[in-house]
Structure 1
């Protein structure tokens, strides 16, 4: 697991007695943010006991519930960081998505340096990872370019992502998902589009606006 600079020194804490609640091992600033968002020692322990899927994907019981509270995105990042350090996520692919989500929390709060560090730590080795491989890396390229204010690099990443082939089995999986969920609304062209292309188009259309607006909610100026 790649350890980001500000987390490296914290690893020594994992060797302390299990009798000490993880909450008490965190820096004071993290404890303060978590407590202000309703996460005390007991709640953090509950979160760390979750399997990774409910911790990462459950909107009512994992880090996303924290992020949904007013002013609590940084506390959500604290929870994700704690999970990566103390819950031992299984496999590099699963750690990758936690890093991405931590980066998003920092990007939403315009903590750009930390966001970039986390996003950069999610690149795939395309020679060893068949999926999503190039699509994911181009998504990372585009997001980093947006945060750095590099419009040309952002457009280049979008254009390269747009021509990536989409396997037929993925298209069929998407068709089935829509058929099984008739109330689900997806962007036009969803079935045939490379992964995250619609998000990247939004970053291009809303270039110069905060990530919190450009990601998923910003409309192109006419």
Structure 2
């Protein structure tokens, strides 16, 4: 049936269903990324990744999640970067639905120097996010159990809350859980 409708009519119908503010938002976000990219290139990993109002966070707080993911990818391509930049890159990729890229970054976000019996359960947290993206509820629950056993350690309690959110919203898109 669709093969009987001229392509230009389908294109017009699609264009008319896209809200005008969505197009303007994308333009605004692309402009912001272009304008801020030179500054991003000069920032330290701490400034780019962990400082509110700077780096990718500047874009994300403006609602420019896809552009934040692009900015992180560019920053990562500039050289050796710490694990936390990869983790936040994975979060932004997952937020915009790019699970393959997120899973790849999560591999680099793991800290192999941390022993499995380390009190801080960073690798279990990273693995929990990966399990959610792979739709592997059993692995997600196993990771949660590991983190919960050491919820008394700083950082683990906050990460446990995130993992609980992943379990509570299992099967939903990552980007719908953390807006």
The answer to whether the superposition gives a TM-score over 0.5 is: yes
Residues 33, 75 of structure 1: 8 Å contact kept: no
Deviation, 1:165, is: 6.3
Residue-by-residue CA offset, 1:156-193 (whole Å, 9 max, x unaligned):
211121112645xx4xxxxxxxxxxxxxxxxxxx9xx5
Q: Please name the residue that 2:169 is paired with.
A: 206
Residues 138, 158 of structure 1: 8 Å contact kept: yes
Residues 63, 76 of structure 1: 8 Å contact kept: yes
Q: Classify the secondary structure of the residue corresponding to 2:54.
A: coil
Runs of 4+ aligned residues of structure 1 deviating over 3 Å after TM superposition are 32-35, 127-132
Structure 2 residues without counterparts, runs of 5 or longer: 1-25
Higher helix residue share: 2
Q: Please name the residue that 1:83 is paired with.
A: 75
Q: If the length of structure 1 is used for normalisation, what is the TM-score?
A: 0.59
Q: If the length of structure 2 is used for normalisation, what is the TM-score?
A: 0.72
- Summarize the alignment of residues 118-197 of structure 1 with structure 2, pairs less than 5 Å apart: 118-125=105-112, 126-127=114-115, 132=120, 135-164=121-150, 166-167=152-153, 170=154, 194=157, 196-197=159-160
Structure 1 residues without counterparts, runs of 5 or longer: 1-31, 171-189, 218-222
Number of aligned residue pairs: 153
Residues 47, 54 of structure 2: 8 Å contact kept: yes
CA distance in 2, matches of 1:65, 1:36: 13
